[in-house]
Structure 1
Amino acid sequence: MTNVYDILLERGYIKQTTHEEEIRELLGREKITFYIGFDPTADSLHVGHFLQMMVMSYMQKAGHRPIALLGGGTGMVGDPTGKTDMRKMLTPEQIQHNVECFKKQFSRLIDLKDGKAIIENNAKWLLNLNYINFLREVGVHFSVNKMLTAECFKQRLQKGLSFLEFNYMLMQAYDFLELNRRYNCVLQFGGDDQWSNIIAGVDLIRRKEHKPAYGMTFTLLTKSDGKKMGKTEGGALWLDKEKTSPYDFYQYWRNIDDADVEKCLTLLTFLPMDQVKRLGALPGEKINEAKKTLAYEVTKLVHGKDEAEKAKKASETLFVGGHDMGNIPTVETTKNSLGCSIVEFLVELHILPSKSEARRLINQNGLTVNDKKVGDPNFIVTEDDFKNGYMLVRKGKKNYNRIVLK
């Protein structure tokens, strides 16, 4: 039977490991419990989290038990990693709402029945900590000099790192210690930007419990130009269909650069590697077939087969010049909403997230209404703009919305 470590390595997930040979041997020898942390800073997971969920799924299929650790406690502080400014502080009510949203999305890829996976919340042990006891038990094992050399703090030191955020590494390390004590969790996964925090947890368990613990980071989901993948006109590429519709989600993958197709098929689908390599090697225009496969497979995993079929049909119908546009994201409006600028109109209908975003799109010649470029942000929307009872709005190259006049 193939060792899951070799599968993760072949598919390009693994970036760094604390003890490569020991981890590979461990995963081949016994069934372990591992964890990945998710701070509930929004009410939906995004495509960066989806890559981590794929790893959880591969591990679970190999018989290992995942813990999805939701940061009800760490979310009260905020991870400084990759941020030039301090994160907005959320209320306990916002954090709890976000936690519940995450749970629903995990169930798409992770089998949560019969104890096969655990969803835990670090609020359980972090919120009631006695600070003096915490410093004596955990803080004594951390060198400030060493912490300040960590990548996760370097960027923030230039603008100022709050003492609140400085505690984050200790809290994440303590999470690993708690999960080790409660569930015999011996391996922590995370994005490569979490390397310093993961090492801190591994070292803490080895010091406190005098037994082995391990860490592994994943490749971050980036495009061929090195920029983070999953950014859209509306912000992040969300897994919640109310924030990113299945059609828009499908279209994102349908329109990625040719150079990114094979990588995304490898990391974001369960297709066999021989099929991935065949699709990724398709020449010229034929690469579009690989993009269609990618879009369908990822949408099916996130939103289910029915939504993937609808998105596929809508995409094909629109781009072969047909008229059946029933599956394109559609909103309704009334005549009372007309008479305002196109900027106000599209923001009011949540087709664009903000007026500044709408103006930027227009200035870049990226907004089309009924196949005509909109060059003026003060363009007034009237009933004449609704042909056959609807207006067709295109954002960018192939991102469509239909507005129906009631």
Structure 2
Amino acid sequence: MPAIARDLGTTPGTVQLSLTAFLVAFAVGQLLVGPVSDGVGRRPMLVVGTAVFAAASVACALAPDVVVLVLARIAQGLGGAAGAVAGRAMVSDVANGTRMARVFGTLAAINAIGPVVAPLAGGAVLTVGTWRLMFVVLAALGLLLCAIVVLRFHETLPVGRRGGAGFAANGRRIRELLGIARFRAYVLSGVLSTVGFFAYIATSSFVFQTEYGFSEGGYTLVFATNASMMVVTTLVFRRVVGRFSEDALLTAGLVVGTTGATGVLVAALTGAGPVVVWCALAVVTAAWGFVLPAAMTRTQHVGAAHPGTAAALQGGLTFGIGGLGTPLAGALGGTALAMGGVMAALMAAAVVVQVTATRRHAGRT
């Protein structure tokens, strides 16, 4: 980002706006695309989304000023959102029950690997070129994905199951799903736990590098270790989901995550040191390996009447509102105490929502 600011003759804060624009567009885009995919099908959304992502990446690479960069990043976020939400909906179209849960477990594992691999890949790209080359690489990946969709992906939503396009039809689908109490509970527990996740993502580097004096390499080891824990537990989730209910696994993940976050908070209060905080965070990230696929699966199951809309609400709201964890932990000081406090409070609230909703549902059945 400093290099972008120098090349475009602007401030680092203004360049940071380009990242914010992408994240907001990615969240809002899911809310827009999901209901539309229930009306017109998944494949058109994937084709258009990957093409827009590729074209926007080219625009980023050629941006003459920061205004063009920000606008291109918005388009990039919208294109990426189409792929994310339509992809999840396609899983719901062709799979159900344990098979669907296992596929979502695989997706969660890929999502866990991404934060580890992407910075390393990005660093490798920057050793041979400037920041503009980064967007050229993204454009190439977007074109590759678009080609794969065109050549290999078939429509998974039959015409007879489509609910019509237009604002009225999209709004009806959203209202219908939000009218289901169990659906709202799953989304809310996902939002709360995701706020904690974003607090960890945004604050942990400051905690370990500034508060505990770790080098950049040392922090990379911390982050990679914790991400690896999440990868392992998502694979475990795939193995055990047929033996235990998804609700039980979701509740267990939230409880374990709350326990780990409380460990971070206690370690910060008692001055136990970075190793204890590191271990407690590993417990939290391991728990998310159960929380993410279980929440995704249950939300899609309850919202099975409109899978695209369900994926949009689950992804858009959890990503958009969950992103509040980024400034929240920083505003409280960006310390281990702030990080542990935000994670513990929000994940405990998610446990309350999940347990309460499960008991009410059980009582009705």
Query: For the pair shown, which has the larger CA radius of gyration, 1 or 2?
Result: 1
Question: Which bracket does the TM-score occupy, shorter chain normalised?
Answer: under 0.3
Please state which structure has a larger fraction of its residues in helix: 2
Q: How high is the TM-score relative to the length of structure 1? A: 0.23
Q: Which has the higher contact order (CA 8 A, sep 6+)?
A: 2
Higher-strand-fraction structure: 1
